[in-house]
Structure 1
Amino acid sequence: MPRLRHALPGRLRARAGPLGPAPPAGAARVLSGVDGRDGPLRAVTFDCWGTLLFERDPGHAQRVRVEAVVRAARRGGVALEAAAAAAALEAAWRRHFDAWHAHRATGSAEMAAWTLDAVPVDPAARPALDRELARALAEASLETEVAPLDGARATLEWLAAGGVRRALVCDTGYSPGRVVRELLARAGLLDLLEVLAFSDEVGVPKPEARIFEHALRGLSARPQVSVHVGDLRRTDVAGARRLGMRTVRIRDHYDDPSDHPDADHVADSHAHLLALLAPLAGR
């Protein structure tokens, strides 16, 4: 399963090479509201998964998690088949997914406990097993290949060179903020992000205003001179727009087919995104 969405179906990858298709003529005008009386672009906040990072093989991390459930059951005195372990983990993920839709932040600790609730392990062993499984679920992505989207580092470098502040606004699932930080570092992106707002640390997921406010406060930026870039309409677009930010939905890795209102503009790639942002940053 994704952290929150790595394995969602229907992803659309740009087909015009690593830089994606060229933006249509005049595309930058869509975001012109940022640089009117409110002043020029001061900050850009980014979603993480499907916007800056992606897993090359999300199934590998999930297999690692299923194996961890089998081991935890064995330590608790239960011989559990992999299929049963996967089913228990899937049920826990559904509870997490429902909580996410209800704007509640849950993560690997809760999912570990929910998973083991379905396995009749020794009750005396539960506290230790819960902790061990939570750690294994959280760190499974460290055992798979996580890579930046094409052009992601170039986008962040370009913004930094122009003095535009940069933050991450990330909903966490299995992988908490401490793990995502490591993945960002491995991808060469961590040093280019000035503020990191993770739902497991802030206490709420997108589209709640508080997680966006946390990022903007750290950047000393007002919503009216800020843009949020993400791939999901329900969380990225709705949450940022409600706060007064301009929005860009990037569909390089995942093209959200939901019927929620769309962003102010849709970028096919990071190259397209830069073409949208350049006039706002005065470049």
Structure 2
Amino acid sequence: MDTSRIDTITFDLWNTLISHDELYDESIRRARTEGIMEALKDKGIIVGMEDLERAHELSGQKLLEKWSDDIDVDVDGQLEIFLRCLNVDPSPDNMMAIESPYTDAVLKVNPYLVDGAVEAVCDMKERGYRIALISNTGRTPGKAMRKVMKNFGLLDLFDVTVFSNEAGYQKPHKKIFEMTLEMIGSLPSKAVHIGDHSVLDVLGARRMGMKSVRVMKHAKKDDGYHEPDIYIDDITGLPEAITKLEK
């Protein structure tokens, strides 16, 4: 039996299968803070937009301290940090009130599906590969991103979806790749990771002993330099790349 044959394809999500325009960061921040303001107002807690924006920035700095070590924070942890930065009691009731506007802001800003993304994943699935997703989340957790994926017809194509806020680790930490392969029942030598980022995706996969394909269409050119096994211009080149890696 050929124990080295590829049996699993893992995908990054942002800038590999879905992407957004240059206004995304500002749009999602506004949607999140406006939604939180209204949710707190409904509970009789009046806060101004200036205070909300300050809390958004300060809580972001605190999260970055965690993320710099490739450790992620779950939803409850993020809500508590945000409310403390806003000087509002992080009681269970208050956390519950702001959870939806905090986590689901992405549903109001319309990221878009990358051309050829569904077809590329379908091609891998039709070839018989196990299909998994490994995605960092920032402030938008897996629960919300699965809704986005479902809207795009992506979610049901995946056997396993692993998001950093649920795993507790971010790419390129070895642990999030390890957890994914354990869940899907594969080995690093039999898996290929597909993503846009030189550090998060290429280096992360290499640390795990996986092959990697870097998708360049939406990649940042200044995110470090780590050589993947194959570069492709866009996701439509994936089937050919995997065929090459199989040889």
Q: Which amino acid aligns with 1:217?
A: E
**Aligned-CA RMSD value:** 2.3
Deviation at 1:281, TM superposition (A): 4.4
Matches within 5 A, 1:146-225: 146-225=111-190
3-state DSSP of counterpart to 1:255: coil
Aligned equivalent of 1:135: 100
Query: How far has the Cα of 1:42 moved from its partner?
Result: 1.5
2:198 equivalent to 1:233: yes
Partner Cα separation in structure 2 for residue 111 and residue 218 of structure 1: 26
Counterparts of 2:242 and 2:69, CA distance in 1: 32
Number of aligned residue pairs = 243
1:265 pairs, out of 223, 230, 234, with 230
Match of residue 14 from structure 2: 49
Partner of 1:117: 84
Map Cα deviations across residues 179-218 of structure 1 (whole Å, 9 max, x no partner).
1111111111111111111222222222222221222223
The answer on whether the counterparts of 1:162 and 1:281 sit within 8 Å (CA) in structure 2 is no
Alpha-carbon distance in structure 1 between the residues aligned to 2:69 and 2:44? 32
Cα distance in 1, alignment partners of residues 76 and 221 from structure 2: 28
Structure 2: distance between partners of 1:90 and 1:109: 18
| Distance change >3 Å, CA 262–CA 72, structure 1 → 2 | farther
Could you tell me the TM-score, scaled by structure 1's length?
Answer: 0.77
Does the 8 A contact of 1:96 with 1:107 survive in 2?
no
* Contact in 1 for aligned 2:51/2:86 (Cα 8 Å): no
1:72-128 residue CA offsets vs partner (Å, 9 max, x unmatched): 554464441x2331221022122222211212111443333222223333x4x7432
Task: Determine helix, strand or coil for the equivalent of 1:280.
Answer: helix
Greater Cα shift, 103-112 or 58-67: 103-112
Q: Are the aligned partners of 2:8 and 2:129 in contact in 1 as well (CA < 8 Å)?
A: yes
Bigger relative CO (Cα 8 Å, ≥ 6 apart): 1
Instruction: Find the counterpart in structure 2 of residue 11 from structure 1.
Output: none
What TM-score does the superposition give when structure 2 sets the normalisation length? 0.87
Relative distance call for 1:198 and 1:119 in structure 2 (3 A) is closer
Q: Distance in 2 between matches of 1:260 and 1:92?
A: 30
Residue number in structure 1 paired with 2:37 = 70
In the TM superposition, what is the alpha-carbon distance from 1:151 to its structure 2 partner? 1.0
- For 1:102, the equivalent position in structure 2 comes to 69
Of the structure 1 ranges 106-115 and 160-169, higher mean CA displacement relative to structure 2 is found in 106-115
The one-letter code matched in structure 1 to 2:66 is A
The Cα of 1:244 is off from its aligned counterpart by 0.6
Matched, 1:93 2:60: yes
| Amino acid across the alignment from 2:27 | H
3-state SS of paired residue (2:27): helix
- Offset from partner CA, 1:164-185 (integer Å, 9 cap, x none): 2210011122222221111111
